[in-house]
Amino acid sequence: MKHIYLDHAATTQLDKRVLEKMLPYMSDYYGNPSSIYDVGRKSKNAIEEARDTISSCFNCKNTEIYFTSCGTESDNWAIKGVCSFNRNKGMHIITTNIEHHAVLDTFHYMKKLGYDISVVPVEKNGIVDPAKIEKAIRKDTILISVMFANNEIGTIQPIKEIGEIAKKHNILFHTDAVQAVGTIPIDIQNLNIDLMSISAHKFYGPKGVGALYIRRGVMIDNLLHGGGQEKTRRAATENIAGIVGMAEALKIAVDNLEENNNHIKKIRDLVKKGIEKKIPYIIYNGDEDKRLVNNINFCFRFIEGEGLILMLDFKGISSSSGSACTSGSLDPSHVLLALGLPHEIAHGSLRLTFGRDNSLDDVDYIVDTIADVVFKLRQMSPLYETFIKTNQANDNQ
């Protein structure tokens, strides 16, 4: 059976070249990088080489990259670390209402600890207005955290402008760049970013490894306490194979970014066009242009996203929905609700995120299959039946 993976925002397949680079550090080079003998030094050197590679991809200093276990840890460390270190300076922090839960839930946790949080709503196109961020700033604001690109609707936030606002007001600026890395070129020097989270498994690297960029001179408290790794800022024996893999994956992604983006965008645009042509009563979520080239997000009226995902899976297509029933919640995605969509419409969402392994040859199958499944689900929907009958009655009047 055909298998077409269209969920690259969830994770990506480990690149075979990356795996090759990682394998020796899972067997032959097993030394603890903190040990001073040869086999330990080999591991240490591999980590420092990876740090050099990653820093050159972002145009920052190698001493500004700190390895973590994932994007979630990087987000937690940035937010909790800034809050705890700056507690005496102020206790107000700002974010948006479409952040990943790694940021939003951490903000709500900080609220429980006594911090004041401002969650700035995005506009209908899924992009935050920098003026609204600036308006939320108070004398005691210590942190602004705004994601680079959204994981559900792919919208790209005005990071440079927000960075400038933060700098002007002498406030630290964190961005969760987990979805942006590998798709958007990131030159940190150009962007006034103080802290940036990344995660390897979103750009064909291994799962369970990430990094936090911390601008030189920015002080934050540690999240993990223990050994003296990462210049005493992040305790724990390093995931050497993971770190080596992340650096290799990032280098491959950055070196081939334009070519991959062109390929992915071509497929994405054809699928979007095809769906719009074949399926009526749909809503396209998120800004048309200021979005990741790999993302489309639709709401199909009168159907449930979960049914759609399951039926597409039967036909060999892996996709995702903002309707969160599978994760144990009956609420639709907070991101789709933030766009102002009513619950019943937000429930019928479909996110397709394309990758470099997708083929132009699959476009017709993707479009036809989605159209077929949406048609079948609507045939079963009493809401759709009522809608069509009302429309016909109106036409006959």
- If one asks whether residue 72 binds ligand PLP (CB under 6 A), the answer comes out as yes
Binding-site member from 65, 120, 153, 178 for ligand PLP (CB under 6 A): 178
Closest residue by beta carbon to ligand PLP: 71
Look up residue 32 and give its amino acid: N
Q: Which long-range contacts (CB under 8 A, 24 or more apart) does 218-222 make?
A: 218/172, 218/194, 219/85, 220/77, 220/78, 220/81, 220/82, 220/84, 220/85, 220/195, 221/80, 221/81, 221/84, 221/85, 222/77, 222/81
Name which of residues 303 to 332 contact ligand PLP (CB under 6 A): none
C-alpha 267/C-alpha 314 separation (Å) is 22
Q: State the nearest-atom distance from the C-beta of 62 to ligand PLP, in Å.
A: 22
Q: What is the DSSP string of 190-218?
A: GTT-SEEEEEGGGTTS-SS-EEEEE-TT-
Count residues contacting ligand PLP (CB under 6 A)?
Answer: 13
- If one asks whether residue 147 binds ligand PLP (CB under 6 A), the answer comes out as yes
Name which of residues 206 to 265 contact ligand PLP (CB under 6 A): 210
Q: Between 64 and 152, name the residue whose CB sits nearer to ligand PLP.
A: 152
Give the distance, in angstroms, between the CA of residue 174 and the centroid of all CA atoms in the same chain.
Answer: 14
Q: Between 153 and 341, name the residue whose CB sits nearer to ligand PLP.
A: 153
Contact assessment for residue 195 and residue 48, using Cβ atoms and an 8 Å cutoff: no
Q: Which of 57, 70, 83, 325 is catalytic?
A: 325
Contact assessment for residue 261 and residue 68, using Cβ atoms and an 8 Å cutoff: no
- Identify which range of 67-75, 221-229, 256-264, 389-397 contacts ligand PLP by CB under 6 A: 67-75
- If one asks whether residue 122 binds ligand PLP (CB under 6 A), the answer comes out as no
Q: State the nearest-atom distance from the C-beta of 101 to ligand PLP, in Å.
A: 8
- If one asks whether residue 60 binds ligand PLP (CB under 6 A), the answer comes out as no
For residue 136, give Cα distances in angstroms to 80, 94, 161, 216.
20, 7, 15, 27
57 carries an active-site annotation: no
C-alpha 334/C-alpha 114 separation (Å) is 24
Binding-site member from 151, 192, 319, 321 for ligand PLP (CB under 6 A): 151
- If one asks whether residue 176 binds ligand PLP (CB under 6 A), the answer comes out as yes
Binding-site member from 70, 211, 247, 336 for ligand PLP (CB under 6 A): 70
- If one asks whether residue 102 binds ligand PLP (CB under 6 A), the answer comes out as yes
- Identify which range of 29-37, 64-72, 112-120, 135-143 contacts ligand PLP by CB under 6 A: 64-72
Binding-site member from 55, 118, 179, 333 for ligand PLP (CB under 6 A): 179
Q: State the nearest-atom distance from the C-beta of 191 to ligand PLP, in Å.
A: 17
Which tokens hold the place of 307? 């049914």
Look up residue 45 and give its amino acid: N
Q: Between 100 and 234, name the residue whose CB sits nearer to ligand PLP.
A: 100
C-alpha 160/C-alpha 190 separation (Å) is 8
**What contacts 358, CB < 8 A, 6 or more positions away?**
4, 5, 6, 264, 267
Q: State the nearest-atom distance from the C-beta of 70 to ligand PLP, in Å.
A: 3
Binding-site member from 145, 183, 199, 260 for ligand PLP (CB under 6 A): 199
Q: Between 86 and 183, name the residue whose CB sits nearer to ligand PLP.
A: 183
For residue 154, give Cα distances in angstroms to 42, 100, 110, 133, 240.
40, 12, 27, 20, 31
Look up residue 236 and give its amino acid: A
Which tokens hold the place of 144? 């602004």
- If one asks whether residue 198 binds ligand PLP (CB under 6 A), the answer comes out as no
Tokens 């995005």: give the residue: 122
- If one asks whether residue 68 binds ligand PLP (CB under 6 A), the answer comes out as no
Number of C-beta neighbours around residue 207 at 10 A? 16
Q: Between 99 and 304, name the residue whose CB sits nearer to ligand PLP.
A: 99
Chain residues in the site for ligand PLP (CB under 6 A): 70-72, 75, 100, 102, 147, 151, 176, 178-179, 199, 210
* Residues with catalytic function: 325
